[in-house]
Chain A
Amino acid sequence: MKEKIKQFLIELCCVYALVSVFGAVVNILAGTETNNANVLIMFATCAIATFVLYLHNLFNKVSPLLMMLLQYIIACVLVGLMLFTLSVLIEPISPRGWFEYYRSFTIPYIILAGFYYYRVFKETREQDKMIREIQEHSHDL
């Protein structure tokens, strides 16, 4: 358990570092600035995403598609809790704010899911090709 937590924190640090650098580059190019609240929200989002991805071992018995849907639902619930907490503690979030946040969260998720889908098909094709090759070589006997 301790090892898992350590691994989770290392991955979270890596993800957050990458997202921060990417965000900083976007800010420089767009000439915009961020604030402390946004930095904290970004960190919380990274923590939720890393945690949700970390759960994939729990869904070994279900299909990858169902796993992705379940992970998305869990992520939505956690994001909802985060936004609700922020809404209560800092300032109320408008419906537009909720919509924008979910949209900016869903689009990369769909892109990554599509990439995963493509990779599964590509890897399977390559493995099938490898099996053909092994079978052909065995016929030499």
Chain B
Amino acid sequence: MKLNLYEDKNMTDEHVDVYYSNMRPVISQLIDTVNSERTTLSGRPADEDLDDGDEIMLDPGEIYYLDHIDRKLYAYTADGVYRIMNTLASCEELLWNYGFVRVSKSNLINIFKIRQLKPDVNMKVYASFDNGERICINRSYKKSFNDYLLKMRRISK
């Protein structure tokens, strides 16, 4: 995508014009950013108590996957693991445009962070991430996962 930046010190009405052929997720994300509505998740480092530590704003693009364990939701990033106060279902809805798809009862993965998708000898399919971790794509979510990829491919062209 071509990016033109114009600097005008005298401008009082700053604005952004977006020319697009179709409303792809990246365009939606741009609009969210301009409108200051870009989705972020707030989380606290998982190894600290909920009342301690600073709340950190997490950009969806930084998150590898979300894991729901013991009624708690964790976001896995390159920098560490963060406890998120949202529910998995709300994150699924919120992060649809950002490449997140449900692959099991407790996992939402970011397809932009997948390094490889590969089946094991026992036919379980795993998504491998840059941080070396793997998440299993549950058989019951296989169809919805495939539908999501088809939809994302279609709208990202």
Contact = CB atoms under 8 A, between A and B. Distances in A.
Interface string B120-157: 11111100000000000011101001100110110011
A60 B139 contact: yes
A117 B112 CA distance: 27
A88 B95 CA distance: 62
Nearest to B123: A64
A86 B18 CA distance: 75
A127 B148 CA distance: 10
B118 interface: yes
B116 interface: yes
A131 B24 CA distance: 16
Contacts of A5: none
B117 interface: yes
B26 interface: yes
Interface residues of A, number: 23
B114 interface: yes
Contacts of B124: 63-64
Contacts, number: 68
Interface string A99-120: 0000000000000000011001
A130 B140 contact: no
A50 to B, nearest CB: 19
B156 A128 contact: no
A137 B111 contact: no
Interface string A60-83: 100111100000000000000000
Interface of B: 1, 24-26, 29-30, 99, 111-112, 114, 116-125, 138-140, 142, 145-146, 149-150, 152-153, 156-157
Interface of A: 57, 60, 63-66, 116-117, 120-121, 123-124, 127-128, 130-131, 133-135, 137-138, 140-141
